[in-house]
Amino acid sequence: MNGWRGKLLRVDLGKGTVGEELLDPRVARTFLGGRGLGIHYLMQDVDPGCDPLGPDNALIMSTGPLTGTNAPTGARYMITTKSPLTHAITCANSGGHFPAALKKAGYDAVIFTGRSTEPVYLWIREGRAELRGAAHLWGKTTHETDDALRAETDPKARTACIGPAGERRVRFASVMNDRDRAAGRGGVGAVLGAKNLKAVAVLGRGRVPLDDEPGFKGLVAELRRKFREAFKDEPPPLRTYGTAVTAAATQNYGVLPTRNFQTGAFEGWDRIDGHALTRKFLQKAKACFSCPIACGRVTRVDEPGFKGQGEGPEYETIYAFGSNCGVDNLAAVTKANYLCNELGLDTMSMGATIACAMELSELGLIPPSDLNRSLKFGDARAIVELTRLTAAREGFGNVLAEGSLRLAERYGRPDLAMVSKGMEFAGYDPRGEQGMGLAYATSPIGASHMRADPAYIELLGVPMLIDPLSREGKAQLIKDWQDIFCLIDAAGLCVFYTIRNLVTPTRDIRPRGMLDLLNAATGAGYTLDELCQTGERIFNAERVFLNRAGFDRTQDALPPRITSEPMPEGPAAGMVCHLEEMLDEYYALRGWDRHGVPSPDKLTELGLQNLE
| pLDDT, tens digit (0-9, with 9 covering 90-100), for 33-53 | 999 999 999 999 999 999 999
**Could you tell me which CATH class the domain 7-203 is placed in?**
alpha beta
In which order are the strands placed within the sheet that holds 17-22? 17-22, 7-12, 109-113, 59-63, 77-82, 89-94
In which order are the strands placed within the sheet that holds 308-311? 282-286, 296-301, 308-311
pLDDT at 504: 63
**Could you tell me which CATH class the domain 429-611 is placed in?**
mainly alpha
Residue 507 has pLDDT above 60, yes or no: no
Asked if 360 contacts 345 with a C-beta cutoff of 8 angstroms, the reply is no
Amino acid letter for position 424:
E
CB contact set of 389 (below 8 Å; sequence gap of 6+): 395, 396, 397, 398, 400
Asked if 95 contacts 51 with a C-beta cutoff of 8 angstroms, the reply is no
Helix (H) or strand (E) holding 80: strand 77-82
Residue 575 has pLDDT above 90, yes or no: yes
Q: 525-552: b or e for each residue (b if 16 or more CB lie within 10 Å)?
A: ebeeeebbbbbbbbbbbbbbbbbebebe
The rounded distance, in Å, linking the Cα atoms of 503 and 369 is: 54
Q: Return the SS3 of 457.
A: helix
Residue 240 has pLDDT above 90, yes or no: yes
Would you place residue 505 in the very low, low, confident or very high pLDDT band (cuts 50, 70, 90)?
low
Looking at the domain 240-417, which fold is it? 1.10.569
Amino acid letter for position 387:
T
Asked if 592 contacts 599 with a C-beta cutoff of 8 angstroms, the reply is yes
pLDDT at 351: 98
pLDDT at 287: 97
Distances (CA, A) of 306 to 301, 333, 381, 529, 557: 7, 9, 9, 52, 38
Average pLDDT estimate for 223-237: 93
User: Helices marked H in 210-310 — which ranges?
Assistant: 213-230, 237-241, 246-253, 274-280
Asked if 517 contacts 219 with a C-beta cutoff of 8 angstroms, the reply is yes
What's phi and psi for 317, nearest 5 deg?
Answer: -70, -40
Bridge partner list, 22: 7
pLDDT at 508: 66
Report pLDDT digits (tens) over 243-277. 999 999 999 999 999 999 999 999 999 999 999 99
The rounded distance, in Å, linking the Cα atoms of 354 and 350 is: 6
Report pLDDT digits (tens) over 157-172. 999 999 999 999 999 9
Q: What is the number of other CB atoms lying within 10 angstroms of the CB of residue 207?
A: 9
Report pLDDT digits (tens) over 65-116. 999 999 999 999 999 999 999 999 999 999 999 999 999 999 999 999 999 9
Residue 353 has pLDDT above 80, yes or no: yes
Would you place residue 374 in the very low, low, confident or very high pLDDT band (cuts 50, 70, 90)?
confident
For residue 405, give the nearest of 370, 445, 353 by alpha carbon: 353
pLDDT, averaged across the chain? 96
Would you place residue 368 in the very low, low, confident or very high pLDDT band (cuts 50, 70, 90)?
confident
pLDDT at 462: 84
Q: Domain ranges in the chain? A: 7-203, 240-417, 429-611
Is the whole-model pTM more than 0.95? yes
Bridge partner list, 202: 124, 158
pLDDT at 570: 96
Residue 503 has pLDDT above 80, yes or no: no
pLDDT at 502: 80
Report pLDDT digits (tens) over 517-546. 999 999 999 999 999 999 999 999 999 999
The rounded distance, in Å, linking the Cα atoms of 57 and 40 is: 14
C-alpha torsion sign, points 185, 189, 194, 195: positive
